[in-house]
């Protein structure tokens, strides 16, 4: 019977692999907590290759936390344009302003303080503090939770409450006494490069010898996957109002889909309503104005 993975067995193998195979990423060049924080926020829901040029442009514009705090929200969003999930940028900006106002423009080495700032959930807080200050705090995100599920043969979907609690506990139990930031990054890196969602490269994995999923030949099945939600079809009509070479834009509410973003005025079409009828409703009900509505006016 194979032995279960333990910290003493796993840590040296994982760190040795990371030292040899880690990618040369711009936020790994130092342990500046501000740079690490920006990278972690950008990497949420976004691929590394996409993030790199955004990160480099953002840091050129706002090289310090104080520079970011002094910027306008408009300037921050312009540099974020194309990354999506714009609430991340707004929370980053709000948190920077709070840190300048209350902490001298420094990222505090304190999870209780950092965790109360906008955008700092458990993962982001622990990722920044472990990488910047080597705080002994676990992380759990898509790559590490998949890796740990396979390593320990945990079949449940990682987003289920009981499975998630178990995985957080496992990640904490495996933490080394030193190089915690490198260890956390190594978990994510191994998941991203080797223990991939499909076709994992088990022959390249330093932990394969005690991986329960591999030993059972079930690495493609573990962890369980939830079926993708069925798409919801929405029909909308938008109006582009032109006048003297200018166009009219409306700002969305502060909450909900695409919060506070600017767009052409539009409505969701009612059952049986034509696009032209919807467009006329936009003009009358939302804009309170008179206009000639047409497809190519």
Residue 250 CA neighbour count, 13 Å, CB half: 14
Looking up tokens 């926020």, which residue turns up? 41
**Tokens read off for 246:** 């200018």
Q: Which residues pair with 266 in a beta bridge?
A: 238
**Tokens read off for 294:** 């047409």
| Residues 124 and 29 sit within 8 Å (Cβ to Cβ) | no
Please give the Cα distance from 230 to 250 (Å, whole number). 30
- Which position among 40, 189, 236, 268 bears the catalytic label? 40
Please give the Cα distance from 267 to 247 (Å, whole number). 18
- Judge whether 40 counts as a catalytic residue: yes
Three-state SS at 267:
strand
| Residues 173 and 166 sit within 8 Å (Cβ to Cβ) | no
**Tokens read off for 163:** 């499975």
Sequence-ordered alpha helix ranges (H) in the chain:
7-21, 33-43, 48-61, 65-70, 73-80, 87-103, 111-114, 122-133, 142-152, 161-173, 180-193, 212-215, 275-281
Kindly list the catalytic residues.
40
């Amino acid at each position: 019977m194979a032995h279960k993975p333990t910290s003493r067995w796993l840590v040296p193998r994982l760190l040795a692999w990371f030292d040899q195979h880690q990618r040369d990423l711009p936020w790994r060049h130092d342990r500046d907590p501000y740079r690490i924080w920006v990278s972690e926020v950008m990497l949420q829901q976004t691929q590394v290759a996409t993030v790199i040029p955004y990160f480099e442009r953002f840091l050129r514009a706002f090289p310090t936390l104080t520079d970011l705090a002094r910027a306008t929200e408009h300037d921050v969003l312009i540099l974020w344009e194309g990354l999506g999930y714009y609430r991340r940028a707004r929370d980053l900006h709000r948190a920077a302003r709070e840190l300048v106002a209350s902490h001298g423009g420094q990222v505090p080495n304190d999870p209780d303080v950092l965790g109360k700032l906008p955008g700092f959930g458990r993962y982001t807080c622990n990722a920044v503090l472990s990488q910047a200050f080597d705080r002994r705090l676990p992380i759990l995100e898509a790559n590490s939770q998949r890796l740990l599920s396979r390593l320990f043969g945990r079949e449940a979907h990682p987003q289920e409450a009981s499975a998630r609690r178990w995985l957080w506990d496992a990640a904490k139990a495996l933490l080394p006494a030193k190089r915690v930031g490198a260890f956390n990054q190594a978990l994510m890196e191994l998941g991203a490069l080797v223990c991939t969602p499909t076709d994992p490269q088990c022959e390249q994995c330093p932990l394969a010898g005690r991986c329960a999923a591999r030993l059972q030949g079930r690495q493609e099945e573990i962890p369980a996957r939830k079926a993708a939600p069925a798409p919801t079809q929405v029909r909308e009509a938008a109006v582009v109002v032109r006048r003297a070479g200018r166009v009219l834009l409306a700002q969305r509410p502060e909450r909900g889909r695409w919060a506070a973003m600017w767009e052409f005025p539009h409505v969701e079409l009612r059952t049986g309503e034509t696009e032209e009828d919807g467009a006329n409703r936009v003009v009358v009900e939302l804009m309170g104005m008179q206009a000639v509505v047409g497809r190519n006016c």
